[in-house]
A and B are shown apart, each in its own frame.
Chain A
Amino acid sequence: MDIAKFKPAIVYTIYIASTPEKVWQALTSAEFSRQYFFGHSVDVDLKIGGAFIVRTPDGALHISGEVIECDPPRRLTVTFNVNWPELVDKLGPTLVTWEIEQAGEAVRLTLLQSQDRELGDDILSGGRSGWPAILSGLKSVLETGRPLVVQMAPPQRMLDALKAMGIKTP
């Protein structure tokens, strides 16, 4: 896969009072991810080509991908493909990159969601509503130790747009 063909569609930044190592651990462990990622478990084999898997709270496979870039605790890029029938065929693969930088006593965490084609606002509304909640949750867990579970359903406009393209959604 040629990652130069991908252009970021979403770039979000958050500052967290933590260390790059702790942010890296929070991004790559199921124990942490369940506390900020809608209860989902992240399971990643941290080497180039390693598997990246996200499971829903009931254990179903939700997102699958592989590790493209891995530079702990600074940069992690994975393919991030939601496991809905025909989604990848119709929309192309999605790349997610996490960049972690020290910024004074805080950590600057940047999330990039990149695509190899232009996607419409309806399709992108999923990431636009989900990522800020995930990032805020991650910040809360790291700064206070308390989980922040946000209840959030996928935006209806995204589900409608996917259905109109013949992609089956749960």
Chain B
Amino acid sequence: MDEVFKALADPSRRSLLDRLHAKNGQTLNELCEGLAMTRQAVTKHLAILEDANLVSTIRHGREKLHYLNPVPIHQIGERWIRKFERAKLVALGELKRRLEQSDE
């Protein structure tokens, strides 16, 4: 679990996870597009995310694709969120999303 929190502590790595959340299954080239990070830096960050099991990679044809793996985050949630709190948290999250949307 330490590895997960260390990996998430860096804004560049969180932005890589955001990019995978927006579009799952990207190649290294796709992930580098439009980023103010060198390819080497992206590679290094991806390795840390993969070691923390927050990113899964697969070979698809000749490409290596990167996928967001939310399983460790789910396990963190299970540790501190009680069963009966989950529905209330989903409802609160939905309320926040709707209220913030209506301001756009």
Instruction: Identify the A interface with B (CB < 8 A).
Output: 4, 7-15, 110, 112, 128, 132-133, 135-136, 151
Contacts and interface: CB of A to CB of B under 8 A. Distances in A.
A128 B70 contact: yes
Contacts, number: 45
Contacts of A12: 56, 67, 69-71
Interface of B: 24-25, 53, 56, 58, 60-61, 65, 67, 69-71, 74-75, 78, 83
Contact of B25 (A9, A14, A133): A9
Contact of B56 (A9, A11, A132, A151): A11
Contact of B71 (A4, A9, A14): A14
Nearest to A132: B74
B46 to A, nearest CB: 14
Q: Dominant SS at the B interface? A: mixed
6 contacts: A7-B25, A8-B60, A15-B53, A110-B58, A112-B58, A136-B75
A11 B53 contact: no
Contacts of A151: 83
- Across chains A and B, which 3 residue pairs bring their CB atoms closest together, nearest first? A132-B74, A11-B67, A11-B56
Q: Dominant SS at the A interface? A: strand
Contacts of A133: 74
A7 B24 contact: no
A13 B83 contact: no
Nearest to B73: A132
A10 B56 CA distance: 10
Contacts of A4: 61
A151 B90 CA distance: 14
B52 to A, nearest CB: 11
Contact of A136 (B61, B65, B74): B74
Given A8-B25, A133-B74, 13 more contacts: A8-B58, A10-B67, A12-B56, A12-B70, A12-B71, A13-B53, A14-B53, A14-B71, A110-B58, A112-B58, A132-B74, A136-B75, A151-B83
A54 to B, nearest CB: 21
Contacts of B71: 12-14, 132, 135-136
A155 to B, nearest CB: 9
A28 to B, nearest CB: 21
Contact of A7 (B60, B69, B74, B78): B60
Contact of B69 (A9, A13, A136): A13
B7 to A, nearest CB: 14
A13 B69 CA distance: 7
A42 B75 CA distance: 24
